[in-house]
Amino acid sequence: MVIGEAPGRVETEQKRPFVGRAGSYFVGILTDVLERKRESIYITNVVKIWPRIQTPRGRTRPPTKREEEFFLPLLREEIGIVRPRVIIAVGRTAFNALVPGKEFSPGVWVEGHGGYSIMPVYHPAYILRRQRSMKELEDGLVRAIEEVRRRLDHAAKGC
């Protein structure tokens, strides 16, 4: 299961998470490393609506705590239905929704309260904005997803 922050303009228009520039970049890496099709991975967001600033074209803003808290019961319900072994928390907002108060350390496993493991990763928009350190950040993202793959492969073998 993959959990992100909130949909953006493109996601809102297409009614599908992680299809904008940053989302497509992330999903490309995710599916390559996991060697799975996108359709086999449940992808959602903490906040289910586009948090936007009212301008003629609309600009994305960070979701408010109130918005996050409003959608948290729905996210918990999704997790209960999907029953993932592993959750990739894309960005600090997603991570904090799952384990409030824990330190966000991309690439470091955290055990969730529902019997699942959480792998926090930097948000792809953050990576794409950091041109000087993009290669290093992308390599870290790939390593984190490789860890997810190892854990899933291990679980599939019944270990």
Number of domains within the chain: 1
What is the pTM for the complete model shown?
A: 0.93
- What are phi and psi for residue 43, nearest 5 degrees? -120, 130
Other residues' Cβ atoms within 10 Å of the Cβ of residue 155: 12
Domain at 87, CATH number: 3.40.470.10
Taking only the tens of pLDDT, the chain with its 159 residues reads 999 999 999 999 999 999 999 999 999 999 999 999 999 999 999 999 998 887 777 788 889 999 999 999 999 999 999 999 999 999 999 999 999 999 999 999 999 888 899 999 999 999 999 999 999 999 999 999 999 999 999 888 876
Distance CA 81, CA 75 (A): 10
Range of the domain at 10: 2-156
Sign of the alpha-carbon dihedral angle for 144, 145, 146, 151: positive
Question: Where does residue 153 rank: exposed (0-12), middle (13-18), buried (19+ CB within 10 A)?
Answer: exposed
